[in-house]
Amino acid sequence: MTALPSAADPLLPAPVLVVEDDPSMQQRLAAILRSLGYPDGAVTFVGDLAQAQRHIAEHPLSVALVDIGLPDGSGIDLIQTLHAADPCLCILVISAWSTEEIILGALGAGATGYVLKERDDLEVTLSIRSVLRGGAPIDPFIARRILKLLPATQQSRADTPPPSGVLSTRESEILELVSQGLSNREIAEHLVISRYTVECHIKHIYRKLAVSSRTRAVNEARLRGLLP
């Protein structure tokens, strides 16, 4: 397990976990992450699912770059675990796999974006930067395939029930800080997470409570007994 950089820039979501078994790809991603501003200590590299599971059980995480084809299983299983633990975690798939089954499986499991390894360093860098800024980058080749599948998936999405009003532990923690008048940046600094992660959680809170503002979220949470 090789570690790189503690991001000096407070706007950079950190720590980062890179799950990739190819040493040359690890080196490539290390160089890209350095170019984005990550210093030694903020990035950890692991080569298989077992190492990844051990790492996430012991360390906090803000961003994950995940390959699909790993020596001991599929990266999709890891994505599902990561997303279940933190729905706002930035998860970018960087893989050579481009079949519909794999793409939809990864995105359905909770991947934020998907880019192919064959893209040059600039394209991969732009995809990572997009994820860091709260975006959801999709490789153009993959986007075209997804668009073809949209008519078949629209009905199933329409039938999906609305999210539960039950807040996760992290969402409750953030809403409590919102009720104290803290800004997103202050909450991020207090919890040692990125501002984009805070914003993501707040969007989830709004959706679960069926509100559209911080004040209404706090009031609704108090009415439901979710806040004192």
Give the pLDDT confidence of 149-204 residue by residue, as tens digits.
666 554 454 454 545 568 888 889 999 999 999 999 899 889 888 787 888 889 88
Q: What domains, with CATH codes, occur in the chain?
A: 2-157 (3.40.50.2300), 169-223 (1.10.10.10)
Per-residue pLDDT, averaged over 210-225, amounts to: 90
Q: What is the DSSP letter of 20?
A: -
Q: What are the structure tokens assigned to 86, written together?
A: 């933190």
In this prediction, residue 193 carries a pLDDT of 81
Tell which phi-psi region holds residue 19, choosing left (phi > 0), alpha (psi between -120 and 50) or beta: beta
Cα–Cα dist 195/12, whole Å: 9
Q: Is the pLDDT of residue 146 over 90?
A: no
Q: Tokens 């004192």 correspond to what residue?
A: 228
In this prediction, residue 2 carries a pLDDT of 46
Give ∠ CA 84-90-91 in degrees, rounded to 5.
Answer: 75
Q: Are β-strands 16-19 and 43-46 bridged in parallel, bridged antiparallel, or unpaired?
A: parallel
Q: What is the residue-averaged pLDDT of the chain? A: 86
Give ∠ CA 143-149-153 in degrees, rounded to 5.
Answer: 120
Cα–Cα dist 79/105, whole Å: 10
Instruction: Tell whether the torsion through CA atoms of 151, 105, 83 and 16 is positive or negative.
Output: negative
Assign 8 a pLDDT band (cuts: 50, 70, 90): very low
The whole model's pTM is what?
0.75
Give the pLDDT confidence of 72-103 residue by residue, as tens digits: 999 999 999 999 888 888 999 999 998 888 99
Q: Are 57 and 3 in contact (CB under 8 A)?
A: no
Q: Is the pLDDT of residue 48 over 90?
A: yes
Which has more confidence, 156 or 18? Answer: 18
